[in-house]
Structure 1
Amino acid sequence: MGKGFFISKTLGIVGVIVGTGVVATIIALSVVYSQEKAKNLEVVNPHTTPSTAKDPWENYRLPDSLSPVSYNITLWPRLVVNASTGLYIFTGQSDVVFRCEKETDLILIHCNKLNLTLLSLTGLDGATAPTIKKSWLEVPTQFLVIQLNSNLMAGRQYELYTEFIGELADDLGGFYRSEYTEGTSPPVKKVVATTQMQPVDARKAFPCFDEPAMKAVFHMTLLHAHGTVALANGMNLASVNVTVNGQDVTRTSFEPTPLMSTYLLAFVVSEFGFIQSPEGEKVLIRIWARKQAIAEGQGNYALEKTGPILEFFEKYYSSSYPLTKSDQIALPDFSAGAMENWGLITYRETALLFNPASSSNGDKEWIATVISHELAHMWFGNLVTMKWWNDLWLNEGFASYVSYLGADSAEPTWNVTDLIVLKEVHGAMSVDALASSHPLSAKEEDIVRPAQISELFDTITYSKGAAVLRMLSDFLTEPVFARGLSTYLNTFQYSNTVYQDLWKHLQMAADSTPGLELPASVDDIMNRWILQMGFPVVTIDTATGSINQRHFLLDPDSVVDRPSPFNYEWIVPMKWIKNGNDQTPYWLQTETATHLPMKTSGSDWVLANTKVSGFFRVNYDSGNWDRLLTLLSTDHEAIPVINRAQIVDDAFNLARARTVNTTLALRTTLFLQREREYMPWQTANKNLGYFFLMFDRSDVYGPMQAYLNKQVTPLFNHFKTITADWTKIPEKHTDQYNQVNAISIACSTGVAGCEELTTGWFKDWMNTPENNMIHPNLRQTVYCSAIAAGGMEEWDFAWRMYKEASIASEADKLMYALACTRVPWLLNRYLNYCLDPEKIRKQDATFTIVYIAGNVVGQSLAWDFVRTNWDHLFNDYGGGSLSFARLIEGITRRFSSEFELKQLQQFIEENAEQGFGSATLAVDQALERTKANMKWVAENKKDILTWFTVNSA
């Protein structure tokens, strides 16, 4: 799954169980719902005093006494407002067949925000069902609790039948609604009923055993209005028109699913259109979206690439795709990037729809990698599933890693397997260098509450998971890695595993490979990378040939109070070059070792961690640093492009950690005047961005901007030349990215001619709104530059274009650019729009606030806005949301003063009682970063000002 989802409290109604009979049809809603709601408000929890002995329903985990076999579910979403309640609602009925594993007189099944109107229990195959003693909904743990008058018998099967009513809310979780408009005269509002079950929201759609190890077969039926189409995980079997409670509807039934987890269940009712793969293909592939988007061909690229990527993974896993169809659907409102529901993958529109006339090459790469990520899950995650959420990193880290392999197979000229270093490895290191980081794998008993589960969907899980698995694949070699995966998947298909099961199969593959020698078992090597947080900095002294490692911390004075089973030592796989030649790989297994081949003399130079295949940073003695910097200044292409980026990133982070002098890090940017490749420029831009965050309100800003102006001017002129004065686009994928860097950095630092270029393009568009001639690659940076240089007229025009945009990726570019204005009242107005879902969709609100906070003019405005509206944001936009953690990080990343620290501490104190949900860890990290920033600025400001002043001349 892509990051980000919301959990709402919109329907905070506690259900009451009112019957024990079975009825043939779903209950009519208009009267029942209002009656049930009135009754439910009176009954919250029958337990007024806590029990001294903890009752089973007070635990968050299911007991091991029952296991589901199959579900038969019928749901009827209403896509119009209910006249009695003023709400969008759905009704449902569910049969779950379960097996009694241990004799018990208690049934616990998850149920959240549903009003149950009917309940019955039946014995199967001759078993007699006990009568129900009492039943209730336990709100904190989200259980339907059913106490029986006698025991269920071990080894026997029973059927629990429920009928229920729920709200089809706009909270982006469970069974929810998404809205869009179609047509122009007048625009007509359309409603989509769709789902997002991961991690724990299937229980909002129907009562279920909502844990990943509780796999079952699902038989789905959807009732829906004529003219709409229904989709689910399985292929639709039949659609017939029926009359239910006096209403004419369509009833669509679906093939039963394979044995699978509740979080992978998906169903959608919409008026969407689709395109599909040619008849006769082994797997039916369909791309679904708004009819206008399909008519405009926005689904064509996804359809073109899905088949080849699916075939790549079939070969990679040596395993056929286990279903007959693969539906992929683009939703107007979707909190994550995408979700890997088996057979029905759901996406944000920006992650699936592509229009060559208005989508950039970055948009295309995002679509290819997200599709690849989700298709990778069809096997790794869906076919074989983690036992519990503490191993989420294995699912998401793996899919994040191999998504680059799948995208590379679909677009081999892009070299996206190199870009993983920028997008995953460096990003993960920036978080994992904090003392408030966390290990990849947690103890199962430490992850029980929904908020704790949601908190795991973070950079560590996705990006560090990808980085360490990439490292593992590298030292095993990709063929050995893939062979181990294949036996793992074949052995555990349709079941659940823990990470040790994967290590075992990779070890088997390694043991059967002649010539592959490891210093220890896969288990011994990898457990050090997943069971302790952080990573090492490896220091090489080329004068003596000695090597040592230590835990790398961005703030070396921070207190690490999380114990490590390995005392923060790692078994480090090292690839290295000497004077440009590959050397024999080396394993650093202890804190300190001597490796004489790394000893140098004269002008010899050493560079370790080639291609950044290992998840660690590298430091050198001052002599080797000087030789590397000299080489960068005289012959930078003698160092591989990935490692030019690595040198910059390592140096800047070592400087932030006070391991090397900050001026050494700044010296790694001097060669940029001659650099034309994207990866070094992007890395330098990101690291200098930290300097801008720290100093854009101080006297360092002027000399710093002048220096970067000097460095980027040759790059700006280079692209002006090779694009024939900006009239064409470079052919190479990464050159297209670097052209954007050239314009963005040049305009922000005042390079002559840049602002005139972007404002001229923007004015031309304002004069002819129906004819936007700005190339899609350049739009975001051009919009931002022109809006920053302009005023209300430019902003209002961009806002109108944003509201009229029919292509989500174009709307996203404008949403970002609107935050670039330097006019405070416009930024304040934009912030207030974030509280109105009619103006800014809920899925986009936190992103918009973070964009505004990234603007030096908007920083304090965004911070004041969040503090003032915290209760509303937390409760109505979801404390369980992934982007909620991103909100905390985004609004505090510039904090570097005592005043800001005190404000942050006060904010935490004021909201301590309510808590921060899935953003709890992000709050701790914000405190740690702020303190580290304060210390760094105090220690380095004077030297940095001097260096920029001297080198900008």
Structure 2
Amino acid sequence: MASADREVLPTAIKPSHYNLSIYNLDREKFTYDGTVDIDVVIQENTDSISLNSKELKLSNASIKLNSRGLTLETTDFSHDVKSQVVKLSFPEQLPAGSSKAVLTINFSGLLNNEMAGFYRSAYRNRDGKDDLMYSTQFESCDARRAFPCFDEPNLKATFGFNITIPENYTALSNMPESESKTAGTGLKKVTFDTSPKMSTYLYAWACGEFDYIETNTQRKYNGKQLPVRVYTTKGLAGQGKFALDNAAKIVDYYSEIFDIEYPLPKVDLLAVHEFSHGAMENWGLITYRTTAVLYNEATSDSRYKNRVAYVVAHELAHQWFGNLVTMDWWSELWLNEGFATWVGWLAVNHFYPEWDVWGQFVTESLQTAFQLDSLRGSHSIEVPVKNALDIDQIFDHISYLKGSSCIRMLSTHLGVDTFLKGVAAYLKEHAFGNATTEDLWHSLGQASGEDVSGKMSNWIKVIGFPVLTVTERPGEIHIRQSRFLSTGDLKPEEDQTTWWVPLMITKQSLTASVGDISSLTTKEVTIRGLDTSHYKLNDGQNGFYRVNYSPERLAKLAEVKKSLSVSDRVGVIADAAAMAVAGLGSTTGLLSFLTGLEDEESYLVWAEIIEQLGKCRSVFAESSPEIEERLKKFTLYLVTPAVKKIGWEFKPGEDFLTGRLRALLISAAGSAGHSGVIAEAKCRFKLYTSGEDRSALHPNLRLAVFRIAVAEGGEEEFEAVVKEYLSTTTVDGREICLSALGRVRKLELIQKVLDFMLSDKVKAQDKHTPAIALASNHSARRALWGYIKAHWDTIYKQFSGNIIVLDRFVKNTLNKFASQDVLEDIERFFQDKDNSGYERGLQIVSDSVKGNISWVNRDKDAVAKWLKENIA
């Protein structure tokens, strides 16, 4: 049952086809019944069959040996709850070589509300009444929660499916409907076409009162255009138009660049009201959190437009990379997620070049990956995975964002066209099967003629990433690579890795005498003959590494910032900030560097500036209110001219990034105490929330203004946002309200937010939103931790049914502290708890807080002195 590195099912039985029937849906008791017929191949003599089952009641089972005309009834069900395996025993041996055997199991299941397996989602329908829809979420190991199955990614099979539902319901699954017929009073039985060979985690179905909108691809597949649909509960379908238009053109784009036509006869996108992830790539029936697929041009914040375009692109990429070709085992999850993340951004950049997509990637995705991978508690991209709980913990920024960053680095080095040529070969060779990381490297190596496996091995198999420390001498630079730890306490034994590092030196600094310096393959190197008057490593921030420049070089880069791309400007700021945190640079050096950026015009660069100033304020506020106040004044010094220039009004035809910049600057200015911005925000907030003038607040400014009003106000503003939360009909409205509520400063209001967060008015999928906002709010951080301790049993009960949600909650609410006493308190509290499924999250918390403590202890006096001397 267990191999050396993973817990897997015995190899005696292999499935080839499932025929699954779901019926007797009880929408009051939340139960259902089912029967599954599994065509199996008996590969070894055995008197038992083991398969996966979780929270199911199996009533009887039998196996029909067609080759012998014999049916054997199960004599015993043996459940191992921990491993989620049920063993079916039979009265005699099942002979090896029986390829026409059918295992039949009758079972009952729960329509849970934990966003896993076959589950229910609550929503308010268009008549204002409480209602339910039903859908599935099987990745990674929850197909076994819906029906007994061989729930491993490399045990692929074909699927037939039917479901009996109320006649007013619509049923959906991976394949098109083949038949619908009456099945008793008020019921119908819907049957679907047989699927291609696929993994259990990609199977899906849903039912409810749905509407849809439809379009077709431009390309023809097997002689006809593919139907593309967005399904929603009734009354919301129109808000799926933006996602629909993107989905149709992205399917055609991927079919072209992968040189393989979309493999299924339809593309369905379904908005689900309760969802633990952002979306799920079920083959042919992709499910989404509502804010990741619905968008209203008139009422939605434009940042959700960006999100919808990207998430649609990401999930469609999986239809090839992950679904058509699936990783062999969960240890290579990054093959699915890293690639889909990179190619998702590639598609959005193709269709929306004016959004500066790769600048967004550098500002958001790349920096987030760096942050996690600079901790000891990180993990390698390709990580050993033993069981289901281990699997859930690697759906994180390493698999998605470090994985995609390494793909981006490699594709830049090889050339995107060459890279995609290798990807196409990989997909064709392994179609409808499983593959490994080495299979991908082999195909890319053949396409490029390079040793891709050798170059990428350490990036995939080793924790962490390098920082390149640059020392300058006249006409030359010396580069040394070492592992970067944000805690700044790297030990010699932790610095044994030598990465292949593409240097990507800006071309204008290269001269004929430099020679080949395309990459660093040793611990250090000296590059001579370089024009050092203007150079930068990691051009475009395409490499997954940081650079540590001298203060003098940083000053020179600030002087020539106009000649640097947006991505490069972001990268220089982010790297300088990271050096300050780790003690390889200084916080005062970072602040000095930022003083030269007040005339910046790019939204993405401003986002990085404000992010880093926010981190400084958040961390140093715990040690000194005076430092926090002076950092607020410094922020005002930087943003005031910019916010005055951009103003409050949105102009007709204004581009996407300008709108984002306005919201960012207003939010930052208000947070830093800008009296004019605060007064204007309060006025617009009052007009909007009172209903006197709903046009007083542009959709893009709702979050900024709500945050300012809540932070500066009291009970009245808090109640106004709660009322808005409970009554809003905009798709993004609830998420915006919850994020704003986390900005409260008064203790009694902090308590109210916490109680509201745990109440049944906030869905489990959304509870982390106010919690993260409170954690980032130094006025509320300790109260949040006290509340978590006092209400841990309730929190654990609400989240533990879906361990990914619990892990996300723990690591994102406790990682902002900079206090030794709080760190020790956290460690004491969880010492006697069952940490299964979120122990990695606790390690991330510990590493993050230790890094913050070191940063404050090292730099607080120097920061206080610099601020006193430079900020009045």
After TM superposition, the score normalised by the length of structure 1 is 0.87
Residue 490 of structure 1: aligned partner: 428
Answering whether residue 12 of structure 2 is matched by residue 65 of structure 1, we say: yes
Distance in structure 1 (CA, Å) of the matches to 2:718 and 2:210: 33
5 Å-filtered alignment, 1:139-178, equals 139-157=81-99, 158-178=101-121
Deviation at residue 903 of structure 1 after TM alignment: 0.9
Residue 524 of structure 1: aligned partner: 454
Residue 505 of structure 1: aligned partner: 443
Deviation at residue 173 of structure 1 after TM alignment: 0.2
Distance in structure 2 (CA, Å) of the matches to 1:874 and 1:856: 24
Deviation at residue 596 of structure 1 after TM alignment: 0.8
5 Å-filtered alignment, 1:129-144, equals 132-144=74-86
Alpha-carbon distance change, 172 to 541 in structure 1, aligned in 2, over 3 angstroms: same
Alpha-carbon distance change, 402 to 278 in structure 1, aligned in 2, over 3 angstroms: closer
Alpha-carbon distance change, 856 to 674 in structure 1, aligned in 2, over 3 angstroms: same
Residue 54 of structure 2: aligned partner: 112
Match of 1:249 among 183, 187, 194: 187
Alpha-carbon distance change, 652 to 278 in structure 1, aligned in 2, over 3 angstroms: closer
Classify the secondary structure of the residue corresponding to 2:361: helix
5 Å-filtered alignment, 1:523-542, equals 523-542=453-472
How big is each residue's C-alpha offset from its partner over 1:438-491, in whole Å with a ceiling of 9 and x where there is no partner? 100023xxx122110000101111100010000010001000000001111011
Distance in structure 2 (CA, Å) of the matches to 1:717 and 1:385: 52
Distance in structure 2 (CA, Å) of the matches to 1:440 and 1:606: 31
- For residue 220 of structure 1, what is the amino acid of its counterpart? F
Match of 2:566 among 637, 641, 646: 641
Residue 373 of structure 1: aligned partner: 314
Residue 547 of structure 1: aligned partner: 479
Match of 1:831 among 750, 754, 759: 754
Distance in structure 2 (CA, Å) of the matches to 1:947 and 1:654: 18
Residue 239 of structure 1: aligned partner: 180
5 Å-filtered alignment, 1:409-808, equals 409-443=350-384, 447-511=385-449, 518=450, 521-543=451-473, 544-557=476-489, 567-577=496-506, 586-598=518-530, 600=532, 604-629=533-558, 631=559, 635-697=560-622, 698=624, 699-720=626-647, 726-728=649-651, 731-768=654-691, 771-808=694-731
Q: Do the aligned residues in 1 keep the contact of 2:133 with 2:209 (CA within 8 Å)? A: yes
How big is each residue's C-alpha offset from its partner over 1:119-144, in whole Å with a ceiling of 9 and x where there is no partner? 11111233645554422222111111
Alpha-carbon distance change, 261 to 678 in structure 1, aligned in 2, over 3 angstroms: same
Q: Do the aligned residues in 2 keep the contact of 1:451 with 1:880 (CA within 8 Å)? A: no
Match of 1:847 among 754, 769, 776: 769
Distance in structure 2 (CA, Å) of the matches to 1:845 and 1:505: 43
Classify the secondary structure of the residue corresponding to 1:169: coil
Distance in structure 2 (CA, Å) of the matches to 1:359 and 1:266: 29
Answering whether residue 840 of structure 2 is matched by residue 921 of structure 1, we say: yes
Deviation at residue 423 of structure 1 after TM alignment: 1.9
Match of 2:797 among 858, 870, 875: 875
Q: Do the aligned residues in 1 keep the contact of 2:6 with 2:387 (CA within 8 Å)? A: no
Classify the secondary structure of the residue corresponding to 1:237: strand
Residue 813 of structure 2: aligned partner: 891
Unaligned runs of 5+ in 2: none
Deviation at residue 751 of structure 1 after TM alignment: 2.2
Distance in structure 1 (CA, Å) of the matches to 2:823 and 2:183: 63
Question: Which segment drifts farther, 888-897 or 254-263?
Answer: 888-897
Deviation at residue 929 of structure 1 after TM alignment: 1.8
Distance in structure 2 (CA, Å) of the matches to 1:928 and 1:879: 27
Classify the secondary structure of the residue corresponding to 1:924: helix
Deviation at residue 853 of structure 1 after TM alignment: 2.2
Q: Do the aligned residues in 2 keep the contact of 1:847 with 1:883 (CA within 8 Å)? A: no
Distance in structure 1 (CA, Å) of the matches to 2:696 and 2:807: 37
Distance in structure 2 (CA, Å) of the matches to 1:77 and 1:314: 40
Classify the secondary structure of the residue corresponding to 2:379: coil
- For residue 93 of structure 1, what is the amino acid of its counterpart? T
Q: Do the aligned residues in 2 keep the contact of 1:182 with 1:189 (CA within 8 Å)? A: yes
Residue 942 of structure 1: aligned partner: 861
Answering whether residue 295 of structure 2 is matched by residue 354 of structure 1, we say: yes
Distance in structure 2 (CA, Å) of the matches to 1:793 and 1:847: 22
Q: Do the aligned residues in 2 keep the contact of 1:65 with 1:103 (CA within 8 Å)? A: yes
How big is each residue's C-alpha offset from its partner over 1:283-322, in whole Å with a ceiling of 9 and x where there is no partner? 111111121212xx21111111111111111111011001
Residue 289 of structure 1: aligned partner: 232
Alpha-carbon distance change, 643 to 581 in structure 1, aligned in 2, over 3 angstroms: farther
How many equivalent pairs are there? 859
Alpha-carbon distance change, 166 to 884 in structure 1, aligned in 2, over 3 angstroms: same
Deviation at residue 183 of structure 1 after TM alignment: 4.0
Distance in structure 2 (CA, Å) of the matches to 1:743 and 1:232: 45
Residue 39 of structure 1: aligned partner: none
Distance in structure 1 (CA, Å) of the matches to 2:839 and 2:769: 18
Deviation at residue 546 of structure 1 after TM alignment: 2.0
Question: Which segment drifts farther, 231-240 or 121-130?
Answer: 121-130
Deviation at residue 879 of structure 1 after TM alignment: 6.4
Distance in structure 2 (CA, Å) of the matches to 1:840 and 1:467: 34
Question: Which segment drifts farther, 336-345 or 585-594?
Answer: 585-594
Alpha-carbon distance change, 597 to 577 in structure 1, aligned in 2, over 3 angstroms: farther
If asked which structure has higher relative contact order (CA below 8 Å, sep 6+), I would say: 1
Alpha-carbon distance change, 769 to 493 in structure 1, aligned in 2, over 3 angstroms: farther
5 Å-filtered alignment, 1:328-343, equals 328-343=269-284
- For residue 547 of structure 2, what is the amino acid of its counterpart? V
Q: Do the aligned residues in 2 keep the contact of 1:79 with 1:193 (CA within 8 Å)? A: no
Alpha-carbon distance change, 469 to 560 in structure 1, aligned in 2, over 3 angstroms: farther
Alpha-carbon distance change, 585 to 809 in structure 1, aligned in 2, over 3 angstroms: farther
Deviation at residue 669 of structure 1 after TM alignment: 0.6
Alpha-carbon distance change, 409 to 638 in structure 1, aligned in 2, over 3 angstroms: closer
How big is each residue's C-alpha offset from its partner over 1:760-801, in whole Å with a ceiling of 9 and x where there is no partner? 111111332683441111111111111222222222122111
Residue 35 of structure 2: aligned partner: 93
The root-mean-square deviation of aligned C-alpha atoms, in Å, is 2.2
Unaligned runs of 5+ in 1: 1-53, 82-86, 512-517
Distance in structure 2 (CA, Å) of the matches to 1:560 and 1:131: 62
Q: Do the aligned residues in 2 keep the contact of 1:333 with 1:841 (CA within 8 Å)? A: yes
Distance in structure 1 (CA, Å) of the matches to 2:793 and 2:120: 23
- For residue 136 of structure 2, what is the amino acid of its counterpart? T
User: Alignment identity in percent?
Assistant: 29
Q: Do the aligned residues in 1 keep the contact of 2:577 with 2:612 (CA within 8 Å)? A: yes
Residue 734 of structure 2: aligned partner: 811
- For residue 596 of structure 2, what is the amino acid of its counterpart? F
Alpha-carbon distance change, 868 to 60 in structure 1, aligned in 2, over 3 angstroms: farther
Alpha-carbon distance change, 729 to 922 in structure 1, aligned in 2, over 3 angstroms: farther
After TM superposition, the score normalised by the length of structure 2 is 0.95
Alpha-carbon distance change, 652 to 551 in structure 1, aligned in 2, over 3 angstroms: same
Question: Which segment drifts farther, 867-876 or 96-105?
Answer: 867-876
Distance in structure 2 (CA, Å) of the matches to 1:829 and 1:90: 39
Distance in structure 1 (CA, Å) of the matches to 2:354 and 2:570: 20
Deviation at residue 753 of structure 1 after TM alignment: 1.1
Deviation at residue 268 of structure 1 after TM alignment: 0.5
Alpha-carbon distance change, 899 to 509 in structure 1, aligned in 2, over 3 angstroms: same
